[in-house]
C-alpha cells in the first residue's frame, strides 16, 4: 500500500496486538493467527480498523529479532490485505531500525511504526535526522510513535509539524499526556501531510477528537478482546455525538477501575513524573482477558508480571459484569 493510500485508510480503532507465548516463553504462532483472524473477522462490513503488531504491547523488546520478524510475517499472511497492517520496527539505533523497516516492507506491511529513540537521548536535530533517514530508506509510510513513557522523550508540536513535511512520514501515534499538544497538532498539522491518532486509547480519544475531529482514531488494547466496545466509542465520536461517546466510555469504567486497583497494589519505582509513567498493568490485564474470552494471551515475559490467581478471579467477575464473557 503506497503512503497516500494508507493515509486515506488510517482511521478508526487500532488494536495493538498482544503476543501470545507458551508457558516456556516461546511464540505461540497458532495463537497469534487466531487473534489476528478474530480482528479481521470483526472488521468485515467496512469497519474502520487497522491492526498494529510488534509494538510495545506486543512485547517486541522482549523478543529476539527473529521472533519479531516471525510475528510480522505471520500477521501479514493472515490478514492477506483485508485490513491495513502497521508493524513496529523500532530499535535503539537508526541503522538497525532501517533494517527492520526494510524487512517489514518486504513482507507487505502497509506502514512502519517507529518509537522515539530509546536509551541514548538525541537532540531535536538528531531526532529529525533519525526519522528522515528511516523515511528515505523505504517506500511505505512511517508512523511516529510519540511515547514519552518508554523513551523519556516527547516531540512537541513544532518538531512534529516539521516532521510531517517529510513525504512518507504519514501518521503519528500520539501518546502525549499534554492536552495542549493535541490542540496545537490539530491546529498546525495539515491532515494531507499527517494523520493524527491518539495513542492513549478510548478515554483520551474523546478529548483529542474534540479539536475539530483532527484525531481520526485511537490505539487500543481493549480492542483485542472486546472490539465492539472500542468501536462504539469511535463510531459515536465519528458521528460527533459526544454524549453517546460518554455513554460508551462509561461501559468501560469497570475495567478501568480494576486496573487502577491492581496498579495501586504494586510499588512503582519509575522516576518519571506521574503523567508520564505507568506500571503497565494493562499488559497483565489484557493478556488475561484474551484467555478469558477464548483467544490466546498466555504469560508475559519478564520483567513484566502476570496477574495473581485471585486477581484473575476478580477480573473475570468484571468481564462478566461488562458482558464481555
What are the catalytic residues? 145, 173
Burial 96-115 (b: 16+ CB within 10 A, else e): ebbebbbbbbebbbbbbbbb
Helices (H) and strands (E) in the chain — how many of each?
Answer: 14, 8
DSSP label of 54: S
Cα R_g (the chain), whole angstroms: 18
C-alpha span between 323 and 203 (Å, rounded):
20
The span from the CA of 106 to the CA of 183, in Å, is 36
Torsion of CA 274, 277, 279, 280, to 10 degrees: 140
Question: Would you say 173 and 146 are in contact if contact means Cβ atoms under 8 Å apart?
Answer: yes
* Of residues 96, 5, 13, the one with CA closest to residue 52: 13
Amino acid at each position: 500500500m503506497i503512503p497516500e493510500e494508507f493515509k486515506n485508510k488510517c482511521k478508526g480503532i487500532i488494536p495493538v496486538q498482544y503476543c501470545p507465548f507458551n508457558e516456556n516463553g516461546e511464540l505461540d504462532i497458532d495463537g497469534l493467527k487466531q487473534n489476528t483472524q478474530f480482528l479481521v473477522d470483526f472488521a468485515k462490513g467496512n469497519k474502520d480498523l487497522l491492526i498494529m503488531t510488534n509494538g510495545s504491547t506486543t512485547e517486541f523488546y522482549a523478543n529476539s529479532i527473529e521472533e519479531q520478524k516471525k510475528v510480522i510475517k505471520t500477521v501479514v499472511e493472515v490478514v492477506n490485505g483485508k485490513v491495513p497492517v502497521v508493524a513496529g520496527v523500532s530499535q535503539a539505533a537508526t541503522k538497525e531500525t532501517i533494517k527492520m523497516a526494510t524487512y517489514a516492507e518486504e513482507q507487505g506491511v502497509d506502514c512502519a511504526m517507529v518509537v522515539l529513540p530509546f536509551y541514548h537521548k538525541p537532540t531535536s536535530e538528531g531526532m529529525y535526522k533519525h526519522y528522515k533517514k528511516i523515511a528515505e530508506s523505504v517506500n511505505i509510510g512511517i508512523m511516529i510513535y510519540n511515547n514519552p513513557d518508554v523513551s523519556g522523550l516527547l516531540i512537541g508540536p513544532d518538531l512534529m509539524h516539521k516532521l510531517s513535511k517529510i513525504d512518507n512520514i504519514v501518521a503519528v501515534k500520539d501518546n502525549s499526556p499534554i492536552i495542549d499538544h493535541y490542540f496545537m497538532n490539530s491546529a498546525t498539522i495539515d491532515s494531507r501531510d499527517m494523520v493524527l491518532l491518539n495513542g492513549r486509547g478510548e478515554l483520551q480519544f474523546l478529548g483529542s477528537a474534540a479539536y475539530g475531529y483532527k484525531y481520526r482514531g485511537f490505539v487500543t488494547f481493549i480492542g483485542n478482546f472486546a472490539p465492539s466496545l472500542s468501536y462504539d466509542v469511535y463510531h459515536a465520536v465519528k458521528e460527533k455525538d459526544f454524549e453517546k461517546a460518554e455513554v460508551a466510555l462509561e461501559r468501560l469504567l469497570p475495567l478501568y477501575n480494576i486496573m487502577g486497583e491492581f496498579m495501586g497494589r504494586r510499588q512503582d519505582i519509575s522516576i518519571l513524573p506521574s503523567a508520564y509513567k505507568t506500571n503497565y498493568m494493562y499488559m497483565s490485564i489484557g493478556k488475561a482477558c484474551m484467555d478469558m474470552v477464548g483467544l490466546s494471551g498466555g504469560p508475559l515475559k519478564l520483567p513484566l508480571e502476570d496477574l495473581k490467581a485471585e486477581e484473575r478471579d476478580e477480573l473475570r467477575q468484571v468481564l462478566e459484569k461488562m458482558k464481555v464473557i
